[in-house]
Structure 1
Amino acid sequence: MKKNSFFAFCFAFIPGAGQMYLGMMKRGVSLMLAFSVISVAAGFLYLPILTVFLPVLWFFAFFDTFNIKAIPYEQRAAQDAFLFQLDGAFHRDWKALVQRRHTLIGGGCILLGFYLLYTSLLRPFLWKLSDYLPWLYDLLRAVPSLIVAVAIIALGIHLAFGGREISAPPQAGDDFVEYGGKRDE
């Protein structure tokens, strides 16, 4: 099905919309989602450095629309896929993933819970304090960025120096004698 070149040009200005207009929904959704996540994370977590990626993503989406337009319609449908390989993420065994990464998921939940408590309980009071103690308000407003920075540093340390080694349980035939406690003799 041939699409209108003018509409493709207009939709190309919105990251992902041009791809969706041309029938590549997965690709368009992943571009829109990436653009939105980067924008929200930059504003929400006070990390303006993330905005460096927005023009790159915008230009990629803009020119990708015209590359897709040049592909015949029959071939487009076969090439439609998520940009970030999300297809496999929806078919994983989630129970096994949670069992393997329970500490990481639990830590993320704790951080999210503390952040929600901060924004719903502490932040409204800080707004009132901003007239009297502006430095304290500025310091506490930076808490989300501080949490992200500490998490990134912790992840870097973990990746650089490795995690704790988990020793394998002894196998039959190993030189290991299990202590069975006191014996009644």
Structure 2
Amino acid sequence: MKVQKRGFFNFVFAFMPGASEMYMGFMKMGISLMACFMGAIGIIGFLGLSDLFMLIPVVLWFYSFFHARNIATCRPEIFAGLQDDYFWNEIIDGKKIIIKSESARKIGAWALIIAGVSIIWNMVIRNVMDGLTALAEITGMNYMYDTVADFIYSLPRLLVAVIIIIVGVKLIRGKKKTLYIEEQNPGYMTTAPSTQSTANTVAASTPAPFKAADNTREEGEKNA
């Protein structure tokens, strides 16, 4: 249930992206804001991206803060007309991006799978690195150990980076394909005329002598 709140707690919650929206009853809006904000920080930290990418969560924070304050201080009639929707649908023009319950279950399942694989990876890699450390001390090949260790620790980031690149390339190709179809067939979404209307058009365009001949033939067949 949506309730407009302008008190002190709403102002405090506005400092946490999505919290103020959820406090006023906009669950989809609040959860999507908080998930994107936390997810951006997590991905940047996991992939070890440069500090320039930290502008993404900073921009999200400012957007969320002023978005929450605008909702809290708007006129009651405007607040009553607000819809609980994912925040990106307010920014992206065109078709809305809707996450259905089936999609949410798939996302949750993949998140659990990734978390489980990450736990197993950490458990296995710890033992492997301990063995490599002992081997490097025995053989004196510390330089080789450093190279292998850096590669092993960077392997998850490398896989995630490859997946992100593949997804980005597919999105670009899909957009180009859609634009190409629209350019080649501007009216490919329009519906074709019905069969009945086509038949009526043909009948209307038939000359009168042919119609009379057809009627005479039909009467002869009936008398026979």
- Which TM class, normalised by the smaller chain length? 0.5 to 0.7
Q: Which residue of 2 aligns with 1:89?
A: 99
State the Cα deviation string for residues 99-132 of structure 1 (Å, max 9, x = none): xxxxxxxxx89x9587665333124422564684
Q: Which residue of 1 aligns with 2:153?
A: 141
Question: Secondary structure, in 3 states, of the residue corresponding to 1:142?
Answer: helix
Q: Percent identity?
A: 33
User: Does residue 3 in structure 1 map to residue 5 in structure 2?
Assistant: yes
What's the TM-score once normalised by structure 2's chain length?
A: 0.51
Separation of aligned partners in 2, 1:72 and 1:127: 63
Q: Which residue of 1 aligns with 2:15?
A: 13
Q: Which residue of 2 aligns with 1:153?
A: 165
Matches within 5 A, 1:122-133: 122-126=125-129, 129=132, 132=136, 133=145
Greater length-normalized contact order (CA 8 Å, ≥ 6 residues apart): 1
Q: Is the 8 A contact 1:30 1:82 kept in 2?
A: yes
What's the TM-score once normalised by structure 1's chain length?
A: 0.60
Q: Residues 28 and 157 from structure 1, CA distance in 2 versus in 1: closer, same or farther, beyond 3 angstroms?
A: closer
Unaligned runs of 5+ in 2: 90-95, 137-144, 175-224
Matches within 5 A, 1:14-93: 14-48=16-50, 50-73=53-76, 75-76=78-79, 78-79=81-82, 80-84=84-88, 88-90=98-100
State the Cα deviation string for residues 39-62 of structure 1 (Å, max 9, x = none): 222233434564331100000011
Alpha-carbon shift at residue 74 of structure 1 (Å):
5.4
Q: Is the 8 A contact 1:130 1:136 kept in 2?
A: no
Q: Is the 8 A contact 2:6 2:73 kept in 1?
A: no
CA-based RMSD of the aligned residues comes to 3.7
State the Cα deviation string for residues 62-105 of structure 1 (Å, max 9, x = none): 1111111122345435422112458832156x7xxx9xxxxxxx
Higher helix share: 2
Alpha-carbon shift at residue 149 of structure 1 (Å):
2.2
Q: Is the 8 A contact 1:18 1:28 kept in 2?
A: yes
Larger Rg: 2
Q: Is the 8 A contact 1:12 1:62 kept in 2?
A: yes
How many residue pairs are counted as aligned between the two chains? 149
Separation of aligned partners in 1, 2:122 and 2:79: 45
Question: Secondary structure, in 3 states, of the residue corresponding to 1:88?
Answer: coil
Unaligned runs of 5+ in 1: 99-107, 163-185
Q: Is the 8 A contact 2:6 2:72 kept in 1?
A: no
